């Protein structure tokens, strides 16, 4: 449960409030008063992190005491001093990232992350500049904890602010593209950042990586991204992939079918329906499992009934009935109510058995 509390507050890390403190900045979508280009002009990351042992000592004590308000006051000065201040903060964060315990407190303890959120939300342009600065300074090190921290938080910040920090957004997008290309960093974190940012890489780029994806994790992350896009273009890519693999038992095909089943775009429903009715070997088997992988209403019983009354294999029918028992009891009951209409006696027996087992599980 503490984890949940942290989860709510973690994303505030790096981000506002002392009562009565002046609010700096514009509303989301308005141009930033301090374009992040200022950071670039100053030579992003070119300034080495500045180590100030006295400040570091104070900050460590504040973190150890979980004194969020004190930490806010300590960090606010450098944050408002522009690039020289960012260099100081870079030194602070770099030092803390080598201290596992304090880094963990900095990035997850709710009193600390709350304070950082307050600082950042009161000084948004400066926070954007600082993040952009740190992002550039740590870019060459995909294992940098600061970089991981930024990739976790910056997309949420940038999405909220729309077009307010275009330079930073563009740099982050490029970095995410690079990570997908090279496999640097944690792939799951990269796709989570793509989702948080609401970033839509060119569809050709996604297509290329879906074609080359060879691990189940990579396939699922890419099809998950297409689910998020949830549009005709994404559906077309999924269909094209299914057709090109031409094997309805392949993991990639099944991942594409599951993605189609979760999408709301009308093209997705139409595509899935075509596989449900397809005479191609295995097509209906994969499609029906993908379709009933989600909770459906009893109005979907006709789809299950049609499959069960088809020439599908007993193994395929058992897999569907198992899926219905797991997530779609109403559908299972609706099918069981019409069990006498199923032509094959063995299938009738199977349906009755799974329906009885479903009732017992309740």
Partner 1 sequence: MTRAGEAGAALTDGAAVAELMRHLAQRDGPGMYAEMERQLLRGEDGHRVLHRFFHECDLDHQKILDLTHDEQMIFAMLRLVARHPDEVASLTSFLIRATDSYPESFIRREIFNFLPVFLNHHGGAHPELRRELEAMIVRQLELGGHYVYKITLAMRDLQFNPPARAFLPVLSVADRERAALAFQALVARGEEGRAVLREYADTVTSPDRGLLEKVLRELAVAEYRESETLTVLDALMADSRPEVRSVATLLRVGFPADGELVPRLVEYLNSAEALPRRRALILRVRRSGREELLVGLRQAAADVESAELRNLLLEEK
Residues that bind partner 1 (CB under 8 A): 1-2, 5, 7-9, 11-12, 15-19, 23, 27-29, 68-69, 110-111, 114-115, 117-118, 121-122, 156-157, 159-162, 196
Q: Which is nearer to partner 1, 195 or 348 (CB)?
A: 195
CB of 15 to partner 1, least distance (A): 8
Q: What element of type H or E holds 88?
A: helix 83-97
How many helices and strands (H and E) does the chain possess?
21, 0
Q: Which is nearer to partner 1, 22 or 345 (CB)?
A: 22
Cα distances from 26 to residues 38, 100, 116, 119, 125, in angstroms, run 17, 36, 19, 16, 9
Q: Which is nearer to partner 1, 29 or 48 (CB)?
A: 29
Q: What is the Cα–Cα distance from 225 to 238, expressed in whole angstroms?
A: 11
CB of 12 to partner 1, least distance (A): 6
CB of 335 to partner 1, least distance (A): 27
CB of 225 to partner 1, least distance (A): 16
Q: What is the Cα–Cα distance from 285 to 316, expressed in whole angstroms?
A: 6
Query: Greatest CA span in the chain, whole angstroms?
Result: 83
β-pair partners for 82: none
Q: What is the Cα–Cα distance from 221 to 223, expressed in whole angstroms?
A: 6
Q: Which is nearer to partner 1, 87 or 117 (CB)?
A: 117
| Residues 154/168, Cβ–Cβ less than 8 Å | yes
Q: Which is nearer to partner 1, 114 or 305 (CB)?
A: 114
Q: Which two tokens stand for residue 289?
A: 């499992």
CB of 28 to partner 1, least distance (A): 4
Q: What is the Cα–Cα distance from 323 to 318, expressed in whole angstroms?
A: 9
Instruction: Give φ, ψ of 35 to 5 degrees.
Output: -55, 140
CB of 5 to partner 1, least distance (A): 6
CB of 83 to partner 1, least distance (A): 24
> Count of residues for the chain?
362
DSSP state of 24: B
Q: Which is nearer to partner 1, 120 or 222 (CB)?
A: 120
CB of 197 to partner 1, least distance (A): 10
Residue 318: how many other CB atoms lie within 10 Å: 14
Q: Which two tokens stand for residue 87?
A: 């260099």
CB of 295 to partner 1, least distance (A): 12
Q: Which is nearer to partner 1, 26 or 341 (CB)?
A: 26
Cα distances from 35 to residues 73, 75, 123, 166, 258, in angstroms, run 25, 21, 14, 9, 43
Angle at 118 between CA 117 and CA 122, to 5 degrees: 115
Q: Which is nearer to partner 1, 56 or 121 (CB)?
A: 121
Q: Which is nearer to partner 1, 109 or 317 (CB)?
A: 109
β-pair partners for 123: 24
């Amino acid at each position: 449960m503490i984890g949940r509390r942290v989860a709510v507050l973690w994303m505030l890390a790096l981000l506002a409030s002392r009562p009565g403190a002046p609010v700096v900045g514009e509303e989301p979508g308005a141009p930033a008063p301090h374009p992040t280009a200022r950071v670039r002009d100053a030579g992003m990351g070119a300034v080495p992190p500045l180590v100030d042992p006295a400040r570091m000592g104070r900050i460590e004590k504040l973190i150890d005491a979980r004194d969020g308000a004190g930490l806010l006051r300590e960090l606010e000065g450098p944050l408002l001093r522009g690039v020289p201040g960012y260099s100081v903060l870079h030194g602070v964060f770099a030092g803390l990232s080598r201290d596992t315990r304090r880094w963990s407190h900095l990035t997850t303890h709710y009193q600390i992350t709350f304070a950082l959120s307050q600082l950042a939300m009161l000084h948004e342009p400066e926070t954007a500049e600082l993040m952009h600065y740190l992002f550039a300074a740590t870019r060459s090190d995909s294992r940098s904890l600061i970089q991981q921290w930024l990739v976790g938080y910056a997309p949420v910040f940038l999405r909220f602010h729309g077009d307010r920090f275009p330079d930073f957004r563009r740099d982050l997008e490029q970095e995410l593209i690079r990570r997908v290309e090279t496999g640097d960093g944690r792939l799951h974190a990269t796709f989570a950042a793509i989702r948080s940012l609401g970033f839509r890489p060119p569809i050709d780029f996604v297509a290329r990586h879906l074609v080359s994806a060879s691990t189940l994790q990579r396939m699922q992350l890419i099809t998950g991204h297409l689910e998020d896009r949830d549009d005709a273009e994404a559906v077309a890519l999924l269909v094209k992939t299914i057709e090109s693999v031409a094997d309805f038992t392949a993991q990639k095909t099944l991942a594409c079918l599951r993605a189609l089943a979760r999408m709301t775009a009308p093209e997705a429903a139409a595509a899935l329906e075509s596989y449900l009715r397809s005479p191609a070997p295995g097509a209906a088997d994969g499609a029906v499992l993908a379709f009933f992988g989600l909770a459906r209403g009893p109005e979907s019983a006709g789809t299950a009934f049609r499959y069960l009354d088809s020439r599908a294999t007993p193994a395929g029918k058992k897999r569907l009935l198992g899926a219905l028992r797991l997530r779609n009891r109403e559908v299972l009951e609706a099918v069981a109510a019409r069990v006498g209409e199923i032509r094959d006696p063995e299938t009738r027996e199977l349906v009755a058995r799974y329906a009885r087992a479903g009732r017992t599980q309740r």
